[in-house]
Chains A and B, each alone.
Chain A
Amino acid sequence: MRYGETRAVDGLSLTVERGTVTAVLGPNGAGKTTTLETCEGFRAAQQGTVRVLGLDPVRERRALLPRIGVMLQSGGAWSGVRAVEMLEHVARLHANPLPVPMLVERLGLAECGRTPYRRLSGGQQQRLGLAMAVVGRPELVFVDEPTAGMDPAARRTTWELVEELKADGVTVVLTTHYMEEAERLADTVHVIDRGRVVATGSPFELTRARGQATIRLVVTEPFPREAPESLRATLGSGTEVTEINQQSLLITGPADASTLAKVSAWCEEQGVLPESLSLGQRTLEDVFLQITGRELAP
């Protein structure tokens, strides 16, 4: 998919299993929304094939739309419509909608039920968007950045809802740039960057399969340019060193005291003063950084 000269999504290939939660994870501008909108039939793929529930999302859109639920990244209501009124309207367009009061209760929309859409907070608009996506009892739900801008309580409510959808047999595809969200919810994570899938697997496979840990080293002064090379030589094979920026390095390798000791010794030898040296489980964030050389969070 191109927008003018920009390739937004390029040779992206992924498959979603029914009844699972799939997270499409990537930084802003990676092509997440374009990928989703192509599946929802808003855009036709310029090359390649897209099938959703076995249907072509553009040519067989009318057959597909009643079966899927879509949560847009933003907007999606009249500015003057009341929150519950909007949800009731979308419910009336479906054959067997969920009871609106139940969804209102579940998503904490009761206190803003009579508030016009334009006066809802960002998090309330997000929750209403999610409610509109699921009210028609779809088989498959696409949610674009479901918890962007939500407070922690609303985020937990949303996560619980996604977990319940999955438990009841609904397939969920979500985009996110929150690691935690992908790690907690997803059965499968597709890490995408610059319009391509760069890694696929369960959060466990992506982060822990190799039994490795991550050491983050942050120093007070910029490293000498050859620092990553010299640290790599010191630690030997089986350890990867990725430069995050001039003052921090990411070291992935065996989680043992000897690695830590070597890193400390190396700091002393280089005359750099560590500001922080932390050892932790490898996160999806680390995976992304290692694959792309860039940080995920904006």
Chain B
Amino acid sequence: MSPATGTFTPAPGAAPYLRMVRAQASMETRLLLRNGEQLLLAVVIPVLALVGGVLGAERMGLDLAHRPVDVLTPGVLALAVMSTSFTSLAIATGFERRYGLLKRLGASPLPRSGLLLGKVGSLLIVQGLQAVVICAVAFALGWDPGGGVTGWLVALLGALLGTLAFASLGLALAGTLRAEATLAAANLVYLLLLTGGGVVVPRSTYGAAEAPLALLPSGALGDVLRNALLEGTVAGSALLVLIAWAAVGSVLAARLFRWE
């Protein structure tokens, strides 16, 4: 039986891999930018932290080795990476599983690697947009980055490693808990690291906690970006800490992540 060509005559096949990844990344980016809460986390909080921190530091006479805006801007960029790669990703993924989206895509031609690459692509696009906004505000506040081209390149490397570390940890979290619990836990961890994680302000302002904070991904990412954008230097041990967290996070995510 060979039916005549009709509307639904089968012509199955997967789209080319890169086209699928691009479609996934652009879809996830659009949805994230459309979501008010996610936007608050991605842009509003970091900008408020930057402006508030700069004005507050001048008023309180916080003793930093450099001008407040030069110290705080790299820290706020680190915060932006953390908020998107960890908190936003964990929350969004938790609800994607809850609403059966992961199952739906699991029955589509998009392989899991393509879904993950799409997610990473979307994180990088969103973080790029965040960086543009934060840097613009920082320049308006008189930011004068001191690391030159080397500084920018090292900062970019640090941001990529930070993305891998935080994203894998975020997926591990979303794979372990139910969607609502993921929402609560991801926000709580974000608040704790924002205030006590050595990300926005240097570890040296935390007193006795200075040394242990170097081992947290938040402290390490803050260190890498501050060193790079203040002096143009490479915080080698902090980069190693980020690599270690990325490795641990990937193993955890591979073990704990459930698609349904």
Contact = CB atoms under 8 A, between A and B. Distances in A.
A69 B20 CA distance: 17
Interface in B20-36: 20, 23-24, 27, 31, 34-35
B110 interface: yes
A139 interface: yes
Interface band, chain A: 35 or more
Given A79-B95, A93-B14, A96-B13, A70 B107 contact: yes
A92 B1 contact: no
Contacts of B192: none
Interface string B77-114: 00000000000000000011001110110111111000
B177 to A, nearest CB: 18
B103 A75 contact: yes
Given A76-B100, A77-B101, A168 B8 contact: yes
B104 A167 contact: no
B260 interface: yes
Closest 10 CB pairs of A and B: A75-B100, A95-B13, A76-B104, A168-B6, A70-B107, A169-B3, A168-B8, A92-B23, A66-B14, A96-B11
B12 A139 contact: yes
Given A168-B7, A169-B2, 12 more contacts: A42-B106, A67-B13, A72-B100, A75-B100, A89-B23, A89-B24, A92-B23, A96-B12, A139-B10, A169-B1, A169-B8, A169-B10
Most buried by A among B24, B35, B104, B111: B104
Interface residues of B, number: 36
A168 B23 contact: no
A136 interface: yes
B15 interface: yes
5 contacts: A42-B106, A75-B101, A78-B96, A94-B15, A169-B6
